[in-house]
Structure 1
Amino acid sequence: MSFDFTTFPVLETERLTLRALSLDDAKAVFGLRANKEVNEFIQRDAPKNLAQTRGYIDSVINLIDNNQGILWVLQSKSSEELLGTIGLRNFDIADNYAEIGYEIHPDYQERGYMTEAMEKVIAYGFEQMNLNTIEAFTHKNNIASITLLDNQDFLLQTDREDENVEDNRIYKLSK
């Protein structure tokens, strides 16, 4: 199994277009990745300026160009605003495995946007990429993320620990 994201797979939901990230998104991505609420349960350095955000965008584009991961922007069909991101990465070709990661700006939380996006990305992962397993790593206190994963039938892996982040929990969804 190998992936080819040369033609980026744009996905549609009722209210969202899931599309490729571009440098034109720098200001919105900065607002998302620098947001204290978004970063509350994530261990990462928030960007300090647009130049750092552009560097992040370049790294994502490079990841996609090398077929090592894919990241979609959640764009509102009605307002064309960037609401968040969702992606698959850390592929294990032998096990047909990927990790899913996601974030949404607080202004758009608890409206079902991420549920729409996740359902579409999971279906894409299982049906188009032929994945067998998708895992999510989330902080033990991130109730919104845990609820989202529970609603998508991910199962908590009580016998496993995230080696990199002690307070993370691992959730798994199998085909």
Structure 2
Amino acid sequence: MSHNFTPFPVLETERLTLRALTFEDAKAVFGLRTNKEVIKFIDRKSLNNLSETRAFIDLISNLVTNNKGVFWVIESKSNHQLMGTIGLRNFEDEENYAEIGYELDPMYHQRGFMSEAFDKILNFGFQNLDLKTIEAFTHKNNTASIALLEKQKFVLHPERREEGFENNRSYRLENA
């Protein structure tokens, strides 16, 4: 099973537009990916400047162009602000599997925005991509992320670990 993300699948919810990442997003993405609260539980190299941010955007664009992943900006319909990101990647065609990743600016926490985006992405993954399993890895102490996953009916798989990230835990959602 191969995926085709051209044209890019722009998705909408009541309050959000989920759209492609562009170079115009560099400043907002830099702010998001260097925010201490956002990266508190994420073990990745932090961006140092806008040049590195543009290189990250280029990497994501190539991933989408080559149909190896799909990465949406979560944008407010009311003010067109970048609120966060969400994406599917690490597709395994034989298992109809993908991994979901997400981050949200703390100023938008606890207002249901990520749940709204999640609903749309999960539906897209199961309906449009014919996925059977979507997996999320989250830090064992990230209670907000765990609560979101549990609300979305993801199930903890304590025996599964993400290689190189011993503090991350696997949560999976199977399409019924």
TM-score (norm. length: structure 1): 0.99
Q: Percent identity?
A: 59
Aligned residue pairs total 175
Question: Partners of 2:21 and 2:3 in 1: how far apart?
Answer: 18
TM alignment of 1:25-104, pairs within 5 A: 25-104=25-104
Is 1:172 matched with 2:172?
Answer: yes
**Deviation per residue, 1:37-58 (Å, 9 max, x gap):** 1000001111111000000000
Counterpart of 1:73 in structure 2: which amino acid?
V
Unaligned runs of 5+ in 1: none
Letter in structure 2 aligned against 1:23: F
The TM-score, its normalising length taken from structure 2, stands at 0.98
CA-atom RMSD in angstroms = 0.6
Aligned equivalents of 2:110 and 2:73: distance in 1?
A: 18
Partners of 1:143 and 1:121 in 2: CA distance: 21
SS of equivalent residue, structure 1 residue 94: helix
Match status 1:144 vs 2:144: yes
Instruction: Write the letter of the residue equivalent to 1:74.
Output: I
Q: Report runs of 4+ in structure 1 exceeding 2 Å deviation.
A: none
Q: What amino acid does structure 2 have at the position aligned with 1:28?
A: A
| In structure 2, distance between residues paired with 1:35 and 1:161 | 26
Residue deviations 1:98-121, cap 9 Å, x none? 000000011111111000000000
How far off is 1:159 after superposition? Answer: 2.1
Deviations 1:128-153 (A, max 9, x none): 00000000000000000000000000
Separation (CA, whole Å) in 1 of partners of 2:27 and 2:159:
40
After TM superposition, give the deviation of residue 6 of structure 1 in Å: 1.1
Deviations 1:58-114 (A, max 9, x none): 000000000000000000000100000000000001100000000001111111100
**Aligned residue in 1 for 2:2:** 2
